[in-house]
Amino acid sequence: LDVILECRADSKLEECVDEVRALRDVTKSLTFAMGVEAKRYDMGDELFRRLRKGITTEQCVEQAERLHELDCDVKAYTIIGSPWLGGPSFLEKGYRKNIDWLIETAFDTVKFEINDMKVEIVGIAPFFPYKHTNEPIPEDWCPISATEATEVANQLKQVTDVRIDFTSRSIHFPYGNFWIKRNEKK
């Protein structure tokens, strides 16, 4: 089996080294996936704080190093266009400025995952709010289109040898369409 397990950058890996080795020995491949979500070099760990990740850049890199020392692969998740990142306001600066900043953030995140964490796989997906999204969506945010998200993934595939796993999700809203709620025309 090819096994991918989820872990956090602050997981206590040292407490289960024997179990990880045993699992690695009986699988074809063992990968641990961590949710980095969003990272910008010009903002340090600020995006992690905004996303309430409870982790640091240093923890991501150190956890990836420990997993590699155990002969495991590492996968990191990137979310394109999370609404809590900040950047140029959609309402004040317009869609293009807002979305360009979010796409630039996705590229910076993947750069961090590949260059600093040395991941073998990047999982990338656009953010769409689901019914039970924990935090209110800011009024000055709008979702990235599936077409633009696909193009981001395609461009990333062209500039790296690291495997890019792209998933585009359907939009699920509890109270109607995003654009209708904002009185926007289709």
How far is residue 25's CA from residue 16's CA, in Å, rounded to a whole number? 14
- Per-residue model confidence as pLDDT tens digits over 63-89: 999 999 999 999 999 999 888 898 998
- What local confidence, expressed as pLDDT, does residue 95 receive? 87
Across 83-107, average pLDDT: 91
SS3 at position 32:
strand
Both tokens assigned to 32: 């641990």
pTM above 0.75, yes or no: yes
- Per-residue model confidence as pLDDT tens digits over 119-168: 999 999 998 776 666 677 888 888 888 888 899 999 999 989 999 999 87
Across 25-51, average pLDDT: 94
Closest CA to 125 of 90, 172, 158, 169: 169
